[in-house]
Structure 1
Amino acid sequence: MGIATSYVLNELRLLRASLGLSQDDFGRRIGYSGSHVSSVETGGRPPTDGYMKAIDDQFQLKDRFGRMLRELGQLDTTPTWLREWIEFEQEATLLRWYEPAWIPGLLQTEAYARLTLAHSLLTADEIEHRVASRLRRQTTITGDKPVQLVAVVDVMALRRPMSGHPGLMAEQLAHLRKMAELPHVQILVVTEDAGVYPGLQGGFILANLGDGSVIAHLDHQVRAQILSDADDLATLQRTWEVVRGEALSRRQSLELIEETAQTWT
């Protein structure tokens, strides 16, 4: 059971406890058996739209649990191995993201995201789910309470041809420039002048959480890996400092993005 599902079920249990109702009494109030309530609360039976609506209606909760279920349903289109990271991502106060090959997912256009996934071994439905999930994740930096993002990309991510789609890359770099204008977003570029540097071994994300801890994300060919080991984090943070030190300044990076965008028009 994922963190999001556990959260929803815990909220259901807390509601019932706050009302001082047994599972049988709670069930009678919403038109379900006590055994059904028990099965939902323990994860044996998934909550349905009807179940959540009955709770919201009976206790005048203004779609509170219906909304939770819809959000959980959206999360369920995301690969299981990525769900835990997305929740950390949403809780973060700072994301430090390095990518040597691609535009970071939080900064991708829909067309760019779809094309990068089209060259994978995913089915058409899986690609659409991944694209939808990636676009929803972008509210992390575009929502009402956006997280601070510092993204460092290798210049080849700006220059790599996308299967003969120059217009797609022009659109993507224009979007990148727009995102870079947000006060909480920094996009920095490492140029060829850096030569061979440690970051070329692979991309990663460091997330600073509200409790002061740091957690990392590595994206491999098959699945992602979340790291919390102190030694691993120390290594990645040292790599981040080297990578950021090799990058152009914010102003210089934006100029390079604009110049490169012109080559795709």
Structure 2
Amino acid sequence: MSTEERATLLRWWEPMLGPGLLQTEGYARAVLQGGWLSDEVVDRALQVRRERRAATVDRPKPPTFSAIINEFALTFGPPELRREQLEHLLELSQRPKIQILVVPRSAGLHAGRQGAFVLATLPAGRRAGYVDDQLRGRVVTDGGDLDQLEISWEIVSGLALPVQPSRDLLRRAVDDHE
């Protein structure tokens, strides 16, 4: 069983895109095809993502999922895919165990701009993290590294708008496409 599947709480910071587990298939495909990946690799990655989503946010008793995204992430992608993605995020934000917050543009430069990461709280209070870069992702279990990710989480969560203003911002972004 993966760390995501065992998690009781997933906290996901994403400065450039919507969190992978919360992406529509069309949006995820566009992101993955933006590289030089073959159709077979993209199809396999999307299948893995569907399986991960089914095992986490769509399972009968999902973990609490707190996502913080940067407002800039609301502006990327082809308009039709972006609108679908924004509507999807807005819909997901209504689920009782999913919280989606937005860091507004006005937050400026901050530690979270250094990259996306995920923090997982596991049973018995254990923790794990995940960071991704251009080459590969890696699981983080070192206590000092996890502490640094926790500090970064505190910084971005402190900059994020509360739940309802974040939903309002998502709604305005959807409405901008009408």
TM > 0.5 = yes
CA displacement at 1:133 relative to structure 2? 1.2
In structure 2, the residue matched to 1:156 is 72
CA displacement at 1:264 relative to structure 2? 2.3
Q: What SS class does the counterpart of residue 142 from structure 1 fall into?
A: coil
CA displacement at 1:211 relative to structure 2? 2.4
Q: What SS class does the counterpart of residue 100 from structure 2 fall into?
A: strand
In structure 2, the residue matched to 1:128 is 43
Q: Which structure has the highest strand share of the two?
A: 2
Instruction: String of CA shifts for 1:143-199, please: whole Å, max 9, x gaps.
Output: 111111000000011012x1xx21111111110011000000000000111111110
More RCO (CA 8 Å, sep 6+)? 2
Following the alignment from structure 2 to structure 1, what is the Cα–Cα distance between the partners of residues 30 and 156?
27
In structure 1, the residue matched to 2:153 is 240
2:118 equivalent to 1:202: no
Instruction: Name the larger-Rg structure.
Output: 1
Q: What SS class does the counterpart of residue 118 from structure 2 fall into?
A: strand
Q: What SS class does the counterpart of residue 123 from structure 2 fall into?
A: coil
CA displacement at 1:99 relative to structure 2? 0.3
Following the alignment from structure 1 to structure 2, what is the Cα–Cα distance between the partners of residues 225 and 124?
24
Q: What SS class does the counterpart of residue 161 from structure 2 fall into?
A: coil
In structure 2, the residue matched to 1:84 is none
Q: What SS class does the counterpart of residue 211 from structure 1 fall into?
A: helix
Q: How does the TM-score come out when normalised to structure 1?
A: 0.65
- For 1:100, the aligned partner's letter is P
Following the alignment from structure 2 to structure 1, what is the Cα–Cα distance between the partners of residues 43 and 135?
17
RMSD: 0.9
In structure 2, the residue matched to 1:113 is 28
Following the alignment from structure 1 to structure 2, what is the Cα–Cα distance between the partners of residues 241 and 101?
18
CA displacement at 1:92 relative to structure 2? 0.2
In structure 2, the residue matched to 1:40 is none
Q: Which structure has the highest helix share of the two?
A: 1
Worse-matched range after superposition: 240-249 or 129-138? 129-138
Aligned length: 177
CA displacement at 1:142 relative to structure 2? 1.4
Q: How does the TM-score come out when normalised to structure 2?
A: 0.97
Worse-matched range after superposition: 135-144 or 199-208? 135-144
Superposition misfits of 4+ residues, deviation over 4 angstroms:
none
- For 1:154, the aligned partner's letter is N
Q: Map of 1:1-265 to 2, 5 A cutoff?
A: 87-139=2-54, 140-160=56-76, 162=77, 165-265=78-178
Following the alignment from structure 1 to structure 2, what is the Cα–Cα distance between the partners of residues 152 and 171?
19
Following the alignment from structure 1 to structure 2, what is the Cα–Cα distance between the partners of residues 197 and 263?
27
Following the alignment from structure 2 to structure 1, what is the Cα–Cα distance between the partners of residues 114 and 90?
26
Following the alignment from structure 1 to structure 2, what is the Cα–Cα distance between the partners of residues 259 and 137?
30
In structure 2, the residue matched to 1:29 is none
Following the alignment from structure 1 to structure 2, what is the Cα–Cα distance between the partners of residues 135 and 261?
24
Following the alignment from structure 1 to structure 2, what is the Cα–Cα distance between the partners of residues 151 and 210?
20
